[in-house]
Amino acid sequence: MVLVICDLYIGEITMKTIRIDQMTWKTVEQYMSQGYKTVVFGIGSTEQHGPSLPLRTDRKIADVMAHTVARELEGALQAPTIGVGFSAHHLNFPGTISLRESTLHAIIVGYIKRALLEK
């Protein structure tokens, strides 16, 4: 699934995405110079959802929701979705990837700090 916002013309280039992982760092810099100061990202677990849904279900939902929110906000970009969570209750199912709660917390805090370009 590819989601695209309307073209945004900045300088000599036309940008067609708000997803920073599809941009060069120079493109992100250009967005930021134009007032894009908000970064939205999703967090979705990799865990079972019964016998018929893929393990990425939560991650996909989180990604689509984050993209929708970022498109609706003025001056927002979307960072890559964090595709793992704290899913200890699903560990008996093959394919589950679960972090410790403290590890997930540290990842989220680090993500936010780097998204805000803190050193």
Say how far apart CA 83 and CA 112 lie, in whole Å.
15
- pLDDT for the residue 112: 85
Query: Structure pTM?
Result: 0.80
* Residue 109 phi, psi dihedral angles, 5° rounding: -60, -45
- pLDDT for the residue 17: 87
Contact predicate 38/75, CB 8 Å: yes
pLDDT, mean of each 10-residue run, the chain (119 residues): 37 69 92 90 92 93 94 92 91 92 92 70
- pLDDT for the residue 118: 53
- In this structure, whether the domain defined by 18-115 belongs to CATH 3.40.640.10 is answered with no
CA trace torsion 55, 59, 64, 65 (10° rounding): 130
